[in-house]
Amino acid sequence: MDRTSATEATRVIVITIGKTKIGFTVDRVVNVATPDPEMIKPTNTAGGKIDPTLITNTIHSDNQIIQVLNCHRLLDNSVEEELELSTQRFNHLSSQSHFGDVIDEERDDDEDMRQLVCCMVDGQEYAFPLEDTQEIVRIPEIITKVPLTESAILGVINLRGKTLPLVSLRTLFGLPSISFSDSHRVLVVNISLSEKERLPVGVVVDAVREVIRLHVDVMDSVPEIMSKMGQANDISAICNLDDGRRTLSVISVEQLFDAQIVDQFSEAYPQEGTDMSTIDDVSILEDDNTDMQLVIFKLDKEEFGISIHTVQEIIRIPENISRVPKTDDFIEGVINLRGNVLPIVDMRKRFHLPEMARHERQRILVVNFEKISTGFIVDSVSEVLRIPESQLEDAPVLSEEQAQLMRQMVNLSPRMIGVLSADQLISNTEMYKLHMAANDMDS
């Protein structure tokens, strides 16, 4: 096959062959699927572009035919031996320095970190695991009521042509209902109807506060006395943060809904056009394998989006930001984020927009690009939006800098959202100077 340049969709799949871990670059990862045995067929090598010795089976899923690769045949013995020797030499060199320790610590740290979507209900703070949260949307104007359902079920809405049931987290928790406000949000989560069947459900919360990244060490199990009394069955962990001043209850999506509500979902809300028996092969809601998830934020009344894969977390602006001398004026300074120095960029100044006084809705987007984290101050963060690529358009070229920074736009008439490239938010030179100055302050 012809070589192609890496894009934002390019990924590295790490495979263990023998005693060696090897990374293979692929154009993109579509999904993770567990096929039924009857879907696996013998290989038909006629007319294929790939060496047939590399293919073990094919998976027939609807109109798709997926070829299953034999990992052990991807490399011949000589290449495999050379890679194993190279790995041994690298490990030996790493053991003579601190470099190997740093790599191990970063890997272990990533494995032990959890991302949580924090929300508010009746003044109390809860969180959903990010992996269970498909997207975050506003409360729509039209909610269709459904008769003869549990009081917690508010009705159904139309979300990009799909029927989505809405559930009130307040009602599930036995709290009084309140009128919807601008701060209310719908968290789209995925529940299991059976072993193979899954269904997206919208959970209404009073507000979404932030997305945070926590180490598993701060996530404690629910006190045994509460479990024995049948309380907090829908809570999987409790996090004590800020020296005990902040308590965060992590919700278990699987335990949140009782059997009666799940049965009503199963009977009343079949997903039109979706074969629930093969939902593992298709992402939740509508996934034509070309969707993009964007974190949507505002700057001076304009909406922008950035890929959720580059956003590490979303935090509030702390009271103190330490200034960094001899840096560009759009560099606001640095903050201490759980023991790490995080440089902060003011996006208004970066975009040459008028300055504004600090307010409650402002947030810091912690963006990670090439393992370097930087915080960007925005006016507000409104939602996480899943966008089909068919709604992406090339942005008009108004300047060379703009063409690099904002290459695409989302047309959701009457809304227009500029899609920003994370690697162009600040230049490599600016990034280097900023982190060098931040490290000097830290030392």
- Tell me how far apart the alpha carbons of residues 174 and 187 are, in angstroms, rounded to a whole number: 19
Overall CATH class of domain 291-442? mainly beta
Half-sphere exposure of 442 (CA within 13 A, CB side): 15
The full set of domain ranges for the chain reads: 11-111, 114-276, 291-442
- Tell me how far apart the alpha carbons of residues 374 and 277 are, in angstroms, rounded to a whole number: 42
* pLDDT of 275: 34
Each of the 443 residues of the chain gets a pLDDT tens digit; together they read: 677 777 766 767 767 776 666 778 888 765 555 566 777 888 765 555 677 777 888 887 655 678 888 877 776 655 555 555 555 554 544 444 433 333 344 444 567 888 899 999 999 999 999 888 888 888 988 887 766 567 888 888 888 777 788 999 999 999 999 999 989 999 999 887 666 677 889 999 999 988 888 888 888 887 777 666 656 678 889 998 888 788 899 999 888 877 666 666 655 444 443 332 332 332 233 344 467 889 999 998 889 999 988 998 999 999 889 887 777 888 898 898 888 888 999 999 988 888 999 998 899 999 987 778 899 999 999 888 888 888 888 887 666 777 788 888 888 877 888 899 988 888 777 777 776 766 666 65
* pLDDT of 88: 55
* Cβ(251)–Cβ(127) below 8 Å: yes
- Tell me how far apart the alpha carbons of residues 293 and 402 are, in angstroms, rounded to a whole number: 22
In the three-class reduction of DSSP (H, G, I as helix; E, B as strand; rest coil), residue 243 is classed as helix
Query: Looking at the whole model, is its pTM more than 0.75?
Result: no
Q: How crowded is residue 298: how many other Cβ atoms within 10 Å of its Cβ?
A: 16
Which of the four CATH numbers 1.10.3720.10, 3.90.1300.10, 2.40.50.180, 3.40.50.300 does domain 114-276 have? 2.40.50.180
Q: Are strands 340-346 and 219-220 parallel, antiparallel or unpaired?
A: unpaired
Q: 207 — alpha (psi -120 to 50), left (phi > 0) or beta?
A: beta
CA distances from residue 60 to 65, 300, 382 in whole angstroms, order as listed? 5, 50, 40
Q: Are 114-276 and 291-442 in the same CATH fold?
A: yes
- Tell me how far apart the alpha carbons of residues 24 and 75 are, in angstroms, rounded to a whole number: 11
* Cβ(206)–Cβ(170) below 8 Å: yes
